[in-house]
Amino acid sequence: MGEKNTRDSVKFEDEIESKKIDKQAEEIEKRVSSIRILQGFWKKAALILALSVSTFHFYTSGAGLLVTFQQRSLHLAFLMTLAFIMYPLKKNQRDRVRIWDILLAAAGIVTTLYIFMNYYELAMRAGIANQLDLIMGGILILLVLEATRRTIGIALPIIASVFLIYAFMGPHMPGILAHRGFSLHRVISHLYLTTEGIFGVPLGVSATFVFMFVLFGSVMEQSGIGEYLIKVVFSALGHQKGGPAKAAVVVSGLMGMISGSSIANTVTTGSFTIPIMKKMGFSGDVAGGVEVAASTNGQFLPPIMGAAAFIMIEFTGLPYVEIIRAAFIPAVLSYIAIFGIVHLQAEKTGLQGIPREELSPFLPTLIRGIYFAIPIIGLVYVLVIWRFSALRSAYLAMIMALIVSLLAKLFILGWCKFKGLSRGEVKRKHIPIEPTKESQEGLFSLVDTGRALLKELMQAFESGAKNMIGIAMACACAGIIIGVVTLSGLGLRMTSLILTVSRGNLFFTLVLTMFASLILGLGLPTTAKYIIVATLTAPALSRLGIPVIAAHLFILYFGVLADDTPPVGLAAYAAAAVANSDPVKTGLLGFKFDLAAFILPFIFVYSPMMLMIDVNWYHLIWIIITAVIGMYAWSCGIQNYFFTRTAWWERLALIGFAVLATVPNVWMDLIGLGGILLIYVSQRRKASLPLIPAGISRRLSSHE
């Protein structure tokens, strides 16, 4: 029996080897992505470009940024070229690079480097455009729209095109939307030659700290943190009822916090977690829905929040500490709700976890890779204690990640030498720390160590640059939208329109803002959707006296939730590809599992104490306890199950009392807790269970 358990344990360990996970993720990404499969010269060219752009950003973040226009134009030149090389005009043209792709890439280089090379001349002319400027600007606008369409889909280019039409059609617009209209000369010069258009704030944040945080995430992923997190979480939770799904919730949340992309996170962690969930008895639709909800919510989770926290610094002017402090409780509550739903799904379907014998012991597994936490702890330290800028902090965190990776490899080298292990003898279990991806079978010389570190760094730089293509194109396209907004004064009109339609009523204003955020967030990267929605809708919320951080977290939540909201829900399509399930059913279940995240923003807008605003420590403890109980009751209501199946009135009551218990108000909390207690008693009687669980009863008896 012992030999069998050992074999099973080895089998489970083999299933989470990084190479297998990477291969699965790569195959799935090819199915769900329109990215071109490059070979030969173009594969090498794309690699060189990716390494060059990552090196450029890494260098400038440490040595100092270039002048604004030059930094942003080079950033766009590199990534737009990669966009036309790596993404085809049509999905059926993925086999090779066409001549028109080369021409478009060349046009992108010319129009962006024109700004870079002529920056000082343009500055001396104070942005007054000549004929060549207008030609270059007109071409770049079209190129940005096409590159965005190729990389992230048609939704954002259509929105940007509507805004461009609005710039010309102002005199013909009705009522509050009307403006005097602008000439082609005025629109192009504003979008191309100022920092309020294509080269505005969205591309600015993309060219600085967003790129660095994406690069930092790539370095962490390449060093093996994803595999390590999977092992640790599965060793802690895998044996419980529905353990694989619970582990998927935690792993996807932690990785989503770093990656900042619902879709990328769904594919990467889901390539492992979804098959395990299916193997343990979850249907493909449920497994995909769990992964969608967990991957999406990772972008609310401090301290990184998928780089959203650092963009909020730019938009709100608030310090980093205040942003992550405010975001903490709602993010944790959303995961408690998902965790509870998963647990109840396992309870009502009778699903068990992975046998303990097949899992590694928790503490040894945790200790083996604890060094992975050093860069993240260091990042928070320099942001919170030293109060460095987001860009400088990301740069230092990357340095820490590389140093930690090097030291881990040197330790493995020393261990192999000390033990006298040959290449054929080295196994993962022989090494007392978690091996990094390039050293998981041992290192035997300094040359091996240097080669492994260099390969890991190159893969991270390549992956980081390729992950940034869609983000950069979306930010450039968002710049077109924001350029029209600033040129026409639409921002003030949008604020007035929202307040006019809602008649200044806070609830209706929030509902309108919610729908605007969900619609504007469809199919966009998190950074781009937050920037657009913050520009258009946040001022309306601020006008009603809502705290700035509450307003911006509100729009961030609903912008991100567009990734798992039907009918689009792109993360659901990615999960369905992994699970071989129905995308619509997967999306609906992901939406169902994530419903708590739709309620929490309304709660913290009405009760900012949940964001730790104007609250003392003992009241904060009460808020946390009651909210946790409320979120579990919410899970019971969503799953229609407590200790047994709930009656229709119990289900509705659970949902209502859950909301009351979650709202930071003592009287509402007491009513909510009282109601939940009544249903608790009703459910235990219905399930023929003692009112006090047996374990607690025994402890009380022994105490007496």
Which region among 117-121, 237-241, 442-446 has the lowest average model confidence (pLDDT)? 442-446
Between 239 and 107, where is the model more confident?
A: 107
Question: Is residue 215 over pLDDT 50?
Answer: yes
Higher per-residue confidence, 423 vs 390: 390
**What are the residue ranges of helices labelled H in 425-525?**
446-488, 490-502, 506-520
Integer Cα distance of 689 and 541 in angstroms: 48
CA atoms within 13 A on the CB side of 439: 34
What tokens were used for 400? Answer: 């820490």
Q: What local confidence, expressed as pLDDT, does residue 490 receive?
A: 85
**Residue 8: what pLDDT?**
44
Report residue 641: phi and psi, to 5°. -160, 130
Count of other CB atoms within 10 angstroms of residue 31: 10
Average pLDDT over residues 383-392: 87
Q: What is the pLDDT of residues 257-293, one digit of tens each?
A: 877 678 777 887 888 888 888 887 888 899 999 999 9
Task: Kindly list the domain boundaries of the chain, sorted by start residue.
Answer: 615-704
* Bridge partners (DSSP) listed for residue 645: 641
The least confident of 67-76, 293-302, 332-341, 412-421 is 412-421
Distance between CA atoms of 251 and 148, rounded to whole angstroms? 30
Task: Round to whole Å and give the CA distance between 396 and 60.
Answer: 13
Gyration radius from the chain CA atoms: 26
> CA torsion 251→528→518→590, rounded to 10°?
-20
**For residue 688, with 0-12 CB atoms within 10 Å meaning exposed, 13-18 middle and 19 or more buried, which class applies?**
exposed
Tens-place pLDDT, residues 436-451 = 554 444 456 777 778 8
Other Cβ atoms within 10 Å of 302 Cβ, number: 17
Identify which has the larger pLDDT, 389 or 704.
389
Q: How confident is the model at residue 23 (pLDDT cuts 50, 70, 90)?
A: low
| Mean pLDDT, the chain, integer | 85
- Report the C-alpha gap between 471 and 456 in whole angstroms: 23
The per-residue pLDDT for range 534-567, each reduced to its tens digit, is 888 888 888 888 999 999 999 999 988 888 887 7
pLDDT of residue 508: 92
At 14 the pLDDT is 52
Tokens of 500: 């006019």
Instruction: Give dist(CA 346, CA 286) in Å, integer.
Output: 11
Tens-digit pLDDT profile for residues 37-68:
888 899 999 999 999 999 999 999 999 999 99
Mean pLDDT within 222-243: 86
The pLDDT assigned to 48 comes to: 96
The residue to which tokens 């967030």 are assigned: 521
pLDDT at 21: 53
Instruction: Give residue-wise pLDDT tens across range 360-370.
Output: 889 988 998 89
611: pLDDT strictly greater than 90:
yes
- Please give the DSSP secondary-structure letter assigned to residue 436: P
Over residues 401-429, the mean pLDDT reads 73
Predicted local distance difference test score (pLDDT) of residue 398: 92
- Binned at pLDDT 50, 70 and 90, residue 33 comes out as low
Question: Residue 25 has what pLDDT?
Answer: 55
Mean pLDDT of 470-495: 89
Whole-number pLDDT of residue 473: 94
Average the pLDDT over each of 128-142, 306-320, 454-468, 618-632 and give the range with the smallest value: 306-320
Q: Is residue 31 pLDDT above 70, yes or no?
A: no
Model confidence at 409, in pLDDT bands (50, 70, 90)?
confident
pLDDT score of 688 more than 80: no
Query: Is residue 209 very low, low, confident or very high in pLDDT (cuts 50, 70, 90)?
Result: confident
pLDDT score at 426: 52
Q: Which neighbouring-strand residues pair with 641?
A: 645
Least confident segment among 62-66, 259-263, 332-336, 397-401: 259-263
Can you state the percent helix, strand and coil of the chain, rounding each to 5?
80, 0, 20
Question: What whole-number distance in Å separates Cα of residue 396 and Cα of residue 400?
Answer: 6
The CA-atom distances, in angstroms, between 330 and each of 239, 540, 597 are: 28, 22, 8
In tens, the pLDDT along 155-194 reads 889 989 999 999 999 898 988 888 888 999 999 999 999 9
Q: CA-to-CA distance for 145 and 34, rounded, in angstroms?
A: 17
pLDDT bucket at 650, cuts 50 / 70 / 90: very high
pTM of the model: 0.85
Structure tokens at 184: 């082609």
DSSP states of 500-564: HHHTT-HHHHHHHHHHHHHHHTTT--HHHHHHHHHHHTHHHHHHTT--HHHHHHHHHHHHHHGGG
Q: Report the candidate in 581, 579, 582, 595 with the shortest Cα–Cα distance to residue 269.
A: 579
Average pLDDT of the segment spanning 97-115: 96
In the structure, what pLDDT confidence band is assigned to residue 239 with cuts at 50, 70 and 90? Answer: confident
CB 434 within 8 A of CB 372: yes
pLDDT at residue number 12:
54
For residue 487, the model assigns a pLDDT of 92
Q: How far apart are CA 276 and CA 228, in angstroms?
A: 16
What confidence score (pLDDT) does residue 155 get?
A: 83
